[in-house]
Every structure is written in C-alpha cells, then in structure tokens.
C-alpha cells in the first residue's frame, strides 16, 4: 500500500493557502494509516467546520462532515455504534477548544476510543483571522488589533487533566515524530489527543508580521522543546508524548454495564 491508498490523489493539490500546514498533517495521518496497514473501509474521518474541516475531502475512507465544534460528539456516536472502527476527529483549534471545548474534555473524561487530532494555527483562519482560545497573549488578530489580553489555553495540558489516556504534541516541522504519535494514538483503545502546531501565514502571520511560511515554521520550532529537556518554568512548550496511561475505555466499560443488565451473553 501507500499513502495514496488513503489520500485521493485526483484532488491534489489541496485548496489550502500557500504555506498552510494542513497538507503536512493529512499526509502524516495517511502515512500512519499506511504503516498500520488499516483497511480504508474500517476508518471513519469526522470533521467539523473551518479550514481543517475540509480535510475529509482528501481521504479515501469513510467520512462524516459535521457541525462546527461537534466533530467529537459525532465521532463518539460512531465509535459507540461500532467499536471496531478506527475513528479520527479532525479539528482546528477553534473547532476543538472554543465551541467544541466541552465535547473535548468530556470525551477525554469518558476515555472514548477515538483519536482527536487538533491542527493548531492559533486563529480562525477561514473566517478572517479572529483570535481563538489558543492565540498567544499579546498577539494581534482581526479581533484583537492591539494585542490579545487573554492567556491562551494549553490544550495538551487541558486534555491530560480531563483524563485523556494518550496526549502528545508535535509540530509540522517534526514530521517523523508526528507520524509516530499518530500511530500510537490510533492504536490505543482509549481517548487519544494529538496537537500539531502549524503556521497560518495569510492571517496569523500577516497580523503579527511573522514573515513567510518557512520563517513561521522556524519560529514554531524555536517555541517548543522536547519533553526530556523541558522544565516547568520554561517559556517553551514541551513536545513529545505528554501522557500515556492504560485505562479502561468507555466502550469496554459500557459493554460491562450491558452484560450486568442482561443484554450480553444471556447473563
């Protein structure tokens, strides 16, 4: 097989802006599927609304294009309906952490067996560059022209605190590590969250004078540090596997409730 078992080559190049990291992320996900040798008919890609919400257009798998902020809610229903499926919710930072924030923390708390992949470009890129919950404090956007007074959400820390069993952070620069984290997240039975830091040159980059896409990627690279060298007082974000624990998944726990109620195995 190859990544084009999972990616619709006829739809390339993608419609995203020059320098956007979304294409890198969907290639990494397709490579993870390929290396795990997953059958396409056993994969469901669930998306919401936003730039990254268009990702399902490029996959040769089952797809469910849903409402803004509701990708995880629909993905939860798919997984409960058929636990044998590999279910991946693809979201931008606004989709995942603003209108969809409640779904994110409760999916982590329940340990529902899906992979939530968040492409974090720190703004609402599709609708004009408004600030999102992950916009850096002090940075400018279409709705914070003089600098954002609010602190940003640390999404990986939030999901870990909410109970996610696998949490990782990477960047579009650290491609091979990203593939590795995606493979591990897909293979887990519980809730997995992978955050990917990426540039948005036409909006976030423009408002903050961050330069070209390569320059923005270099700046993102300088913002992060491997977890092995990270210290709590560091001003850089840790990248790597931030949480990896074994816990009973929601579907397994729910099966036990059904068994106790007499709905399985005749008991």
Please report, rounded to a whole number, the percentage of residues in the chain having pLDDT higher than 90.
97
**pLDDT of 53 higher than 80:** yes
Give the CATH class of 3-260. alpha beta
Mean pLDDT within 178-195: 97
Res 59: pLDDT = 97
Looking at the chain, how many residues does it have?
267
Mean pLDDT within 191-195: 98
Res 264: pLDDT = 67
For residue 205, give every residue at least 6 positions away whose Cβ sits within 8 Å of its Cβ, in sequence order, or none.
19, 199, 211, 212, 213, 216
Res 265: pLDDT = 60
Mean pLDDT within 200-216: 97
Mean pLDDT within 224-243: 96
**pLDDT of 34 higher than 70:** yes
**pLDDT of 267 higher than 50:** no
**pLDDT of 181 higher than 60:** yes
Domain ranges of the chain: 3-260
Q: Which residues is 225 bridged to in the sheet?
A: 238
Res 266: pLDDT = 47
The pLDDT tens digits for 96-154 are 999 999 999 999 999 999 999 999 999 999 999 999 999 999 999 999 999 999 999 99
Average pLDDT of the chain, as a whole number:
95
- 3-state DSSP assignment of residue 175: helix
Order of strands across the sheet that contains 86-92: 62-65, 43-47, 86-92, 115-120, 192-197, 166-171, 237-244, 224-226
Mean pLDDT within 67-75: 96
- 3-state DSSP assignment of residue 68: coil
Taking the C-alpha atoms of residue 162 and residue 156, their distance in angstroms, rounded to an integer, is: 10
Residue 217 and residue 20 in contact, taking contact as beta carbons nearer than 8 Å? no
263 — pLDDT class (breaks 50, 70, 90) = confident
Rounded to two decimals, what is the model's pTM?
0.95
245 — pLDDT class (breaks 50, 70, 90) = very high
Q: Whose structure tokens read 């730039």?
A: 51
**pLDDT of 168 higher than 90:** yes
């Amino acid at each position: 097989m190859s990544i084009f078992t999972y990616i619709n080559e006829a739809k390339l190049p993608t419609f995203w802006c020059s320098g956007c990291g979304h294409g890198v992320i969907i290639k990494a996900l397709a490579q993870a599927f390929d290396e795990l040798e997953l059958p396409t008919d056993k994969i469901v890609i669930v998306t919401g609304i936003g730039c990254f919400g268009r990702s399902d257009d490029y996959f040769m798998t089952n797809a469910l294009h849903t409402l803004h902020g509701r990708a995880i809610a629909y993905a939860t229903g798919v997984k409960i309906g058929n636990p044998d499926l590999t279910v991946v919710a693809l979201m931008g930072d606004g989709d995942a952490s603003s209108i969809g924030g409640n779904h994110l923390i409760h999916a982590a708390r329940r340990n529902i067996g899906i992979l939530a992949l968040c492409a974090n470009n720190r703004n609402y890129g599709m609708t004009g560059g408004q600030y999102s919950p992950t916009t850096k404090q002090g940075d400018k956007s279409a709705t914070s022209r003089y600098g954002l007074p609010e602190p940003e959400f640390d999404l990986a820390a939030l999901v870990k605190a909410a109970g996610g069993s696998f949490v990782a952070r990477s960047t579009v620069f650290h491609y091979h590590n990203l593939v590795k984290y995606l493979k591990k997240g897909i293979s887990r039975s519980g809730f997995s969250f992978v955050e990917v830091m990426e540039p948005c040159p036409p909006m976030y980059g423009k408002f903050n004078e961050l330069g070209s896409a390569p320059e923005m990627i270099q700046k993102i690279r300088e913002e992060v540090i491997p977890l092995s060298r990270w210290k709590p007082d560091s001003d850089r974000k840790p990248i790597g596997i931030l949480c990896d624990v074994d816990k009973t998944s929601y579907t397994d726990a729910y099966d036990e409730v059904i068994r106790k109620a007499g709905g399985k195995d005749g008991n």
